[in-house]
Amino acid sequence: MREIVFDTETTGLDPKTGDRLVEIGCVEVVNRFPTGRNFHVYINPGRSVPKEAFDVHGLSDEFLADKPRFDDVADAFLAFVDDAQLVAHNASFDMGFINFELKASGRSTYGTDRVVDTLMMARRKHPGAPASLDALCNRYGIDRSRRVKHGALLDAELLAEVYLELTGGRQAGLDLSVSAQTTSSGQTGGRVALRPRPIALPSHITAAETEAHIAFIATIGEKALWNIYLNDGEQAETA
């Protein structure tokens, strides 16, 4: 399954009152693992950046002056997302801006069925606990030392790691089967399931170690739990 984990930076909190996007960062995730393919763009918002917003992301009017407008990058963004599911933290905020800009440029908007909100996921999984991106990085031991200020691509990369943990951790994509490789003759096999070992590996415990262990258990008494395992082993040998 292909998903796009993304984040945005803006001039403020509400596009309906004149705030605009200034940055979009996207990370491609396939079967819950980042592929290394990213989409990142700075956007000229067509207005000044308030000090409060600059203090958050550090993107100044001067820096954004020569950057493209949203209409200039919209098609590239849509092409990168394609038919993938979108994943965002506090998704209503980011999607509010994305859909506002898409509608303003005459393009179709995304429905809520296309979006996963990791904030809601975190609140369900860890009720009552802090659910900010920083808090989740701390909870899951994800290094966020580079996050001096908010940045859309960096935050999307961190969120992709958080999303992996929220959806089952680093074992979520473990597949206990082996894909057959193409042979030199060009023949390709199917998926080969791993089979149990037909013969158990020999024990590395020596006879002297076994006798020493039995002698030690004898000093504990008949109620020693080790007696259960010894008896099971004797029964298995005589079976």
Active site residues: 150
- The span from the CA of 72 to the CA of 233, in Å, is 73
Q: In what order do the strands lie in the sheet with 33-42?
A: 33-42, 21-30, 2-10, 85-88, 115-117
Q: What is the CA radius of gyration of the chain?
A: 28
Residue 186 gets which letter from DSSP? S
Q: Which of 77, 132, 133 is nearest to 110 (CA)?
A: 77
- The span from the CA of 200 to the CA of 236, in Å, is 13
- The span from the CA of 81 to the CA of 79, in Å, is 6
Element (H, E) at 177: strand 177-179
User: Is residue 7 within 8 Å of 155, Cβ to Cβ?
Assistant: yes
